[in-house]
Structure 1
Amino acid sequence: MSEDKRILQEFKLEVDNELRFEVESKNEKVYLTLKSGLAEVFGTELVKAKTYEFIAGAKVAVYTWHGCVIEVKGKTDVIYTAKETPMVMYSNCHGALEFMRAEAEKEGKRVP
């Protein structure tokens, strides 16, 4: 096994933080495991202790509303945590659309 494939990193994400990484190198694979807490990748909740595989070309953002611990194994080209994320804005937009849908349904109008 090459040295790069043995790279193991653990990240403790605080509330409303995001772990971002990219896998650019051809034939490279990166494995992500949620060790504790709750997290999602682009809106899909991660299962605790399940390992997810990402291949070359992947640009991943792991977000947590409540905090979590993430393990990343393999060589990433870029990896960092971010405290500034667009997730609250996305959530607010979703809430506004849901409200508009409920109002439109009550009035028998076409829903957005």
Structure 2
Amino acid sequence: MFYAVLAYHVEDTVQSWSPDEDAALMKDLLEVNDRLTREGKLGPAARLDVTAKAVTLRGPGEGMVIDGPFAETKEQLLGLYVLDCANRDEAIAAARDLKRVNPSAVYEIRPIMLYLPGATLQAG
């Protein structure tokens, strides 16, 4: 089954990291990513841009585009992973590995009911 692991963090904290601090964390996270890839569990993963650049489509009909995600929490969704795991416990174990190297983040694990991989995209 596919699971989404949604990575939440206090955005101001993440933005305050120096380039070296950010690179060190990414090195550790990529080690977990590489292991999950070797195990055949990791699908798409993405680090989202700052919430100040986000918009939300809300309302009836075609909806209205409004600025920002307007999260009701201190943490914002800053990234996501798609994992192919046998069960929830396996997905939780993978999220715990991510949490071990990024202890101030919050990880939400949610089963994916429908997975459409779409086109392979190149970073631009």
TM-score range, shorter chain: 0.3 to 0.5
Q: Between Structure 1 and Structure 2, which shows a larger proportion of strand residues?
A: 1
Q: Between Structure 1 and Structure 2, which shows a larger proportion of helix residues?
A: 2
How high is the TM-score relative to the length of structure 1? Answer: 0.39
Higher-Rg member (1/2)? 1
